[in-house]
Amino acid sequence: MVTKSNRPWNLESFLNSLIFELDKAQDTLSVKGLNRKLTYTVKDVALDLQIFPEYDGDTVRFTTAKPGDTGASKVSLQLGSIRDHQIREVTKEPLTHDDISIEETDLPEPARKELKKLGIKSAEDLRRTVEDRKVDLEKVTDQQIDYKNLADMINQSRRRKRAPKVSKISVAKSVPGKAILTLKGDNLAIASSLEDFPVAVINDENVEVVSANKNELQIQVNEDQIQGTSRQLKVALDPYAIVTMNLKN
């Protein structure tokens, strides 16, 4: 008998851990199948293992039995081959540049674990599960998961990947007593469908956003609002991105 202490574990946790490891292996094959055709064939490879299973609450590990050890379990594995088209049929596409992993969010670790058990590994997985398929996550997990807060966190992470950048600002007169501030850059107003955004203030005084897109923002101001040495412009591009800059004459 192996000289290690044992502790009890439940079947559900064991199966979740094992399936998660198999899913990771499947994800690896999915990426490999995009770059290399699996032209070899593995046929009828059988393994009989004498092992002691170990489980730490998250991960299943196995210790190979040594000569003289008793009480080990026998596990028989029958391995077969799989082709690239079969991999594509049973696996989803890898993460794209615009998507984010659940691991990149600020979610508590218990919430991330619950989502990964359900196969939700990215922001797009979450959106598809909740919005397209109308799944109530609170009913299928052991934890109470607030989807609104979850979606906010994921949107924040997604916005960080597409952070706004202002490369140039210019001023031009419009009607008497007013001027147009033009901000140019990248990833500015990417959420144009939000009616209340963008919003701009100068020294906490509201100013009008005339037009906005991802590369340019035009703001109409009174000329006296941009005069002086201490003028601060703040623009809330959307609920997850605020640009702040000091205006100088």
Domains by residue range for the chain, with CATH = 11-90 (no CATH), 102-161 (no CATH), 165-247 (2.60.40)
**pLDDT per position as a tens digit, 152-170:** 777 877 788 788 999 999 9
In the sheet with 60-64, reading across from the earlier edge strand, the strands are: 60-64, 45-55, 73-79
The pLDDT assigned to 41 comes to 46
Read off the pLDDT band of 182 (50, 70, 90).
very high
Q: What is the pTM of this model?
A: 0.55
> Is residue 190 a contact partner of residue 208, using CB atoms and an 8 Å limit?
no
Angle 122-124-129 (CA atoms, 0-180°, nearest 5)? Answer: 100
Report the DSSP beta bridge partners of residue 25. Answer: none
Residues 115/102, Cβ–Cβ less than 8 Å: yes
| Strand pairing class (231-238; 241-247) | antiparallel
Note the residue count of the chain: 249
Q: What φ, ψ does residue 246 adopt, rounded to 5°? A: -95, 135
pLDDT tens string 8-46: 555 577 667 777 877 777 777 777 777 777 644 445 557
